Amino acid sequence: MFSKACEYAIKACIFVAQSSIRNERVTPKQIAEEINSPVAFTAKIMQQLVKNNLVSSYRGAYGGFEIEKDRVAQISLSQIVSAIDGDKIFNGCGLGLDACSESHPCPVHHQYKTIRQDLQKLLDSTNLKQLALGIETGLSYLKT
């Protein structure tokens, strides 16, 4: 469904969000530890998230990554997925035709469209605040 990079990105964002709510910046090392991911690869992904304006970074001592508190509830999963995996998942053809279209549909178009829309709705309506809260209250987990 999502690329490994995207899975890491989502989990990383949740952890950063959770920390940011507590006014704490975090380093790639801390993130990797918390979400059980390779450090350097995670750092690369964080750079992409910064470029896409989903996460803020601060260099030097006492630096690290954070998400502005006010924005935590505004950042949806779909934004993160788009930033890392692009939007093929939201508008691409399920069978890999060059484009998904009503006028030249693939055999599974009608079925697939529904799933795709449901997925988008879901990712649109799920934000980092909700997810961070789930972790905070011990209802869900970022690693095994």
Q: Note the residues at the interface with DNA (CB under 7 A).
A: 3-5, 8, 26-28, 37-41, 43-44, 46-47, 50-51, 57-65
CB of 44 to DNA, least distance (A): 5
Nearer to its own copies, 51 or 104 (CB): 104
Please provide the distance, in angstroms rounded to a whole number, between the alpha carbons at the two ends of the chain.
Answer: 19
Q: Which does 44 bind (CB under 5 to 8 A by kind): its own copies, DNA, ligand FES, none?
A: DNA
Query: Rounded to an integer, what distance in angstroms lies between the CA atom of residue 21 and that of residue 66?
Result: 9
- Record the tokens describing residue 75, joined without a space: 């950042």
Q: What does each C-alpha distance from 72 to 69, 83, 116 come to in angstroms? A: 5, 16, 25
Q: Which does 100 bind (CB under 5 to 8 A by kind): ligand FES, DNA, its own copies, none?
A: ligand FES
Query: Rounded to an integer, what distance in angstroms lies between the CA atom of residue 54 and that of residue 115?
Result: 26
Q: In 3-state terms, what secondary structure has residue 49?
A: helix
CB of 127 to DNA, least distance (A): 23
Token look-up 């999963």 returns 77
Binding site for its own copies (CB under 8 A): 1-2, 4, 7, 10-11, 14, 77, 89, 94-99, 104-109, 111, 114-115, 118-119, 122, 126, 131, 134-135, 139-144
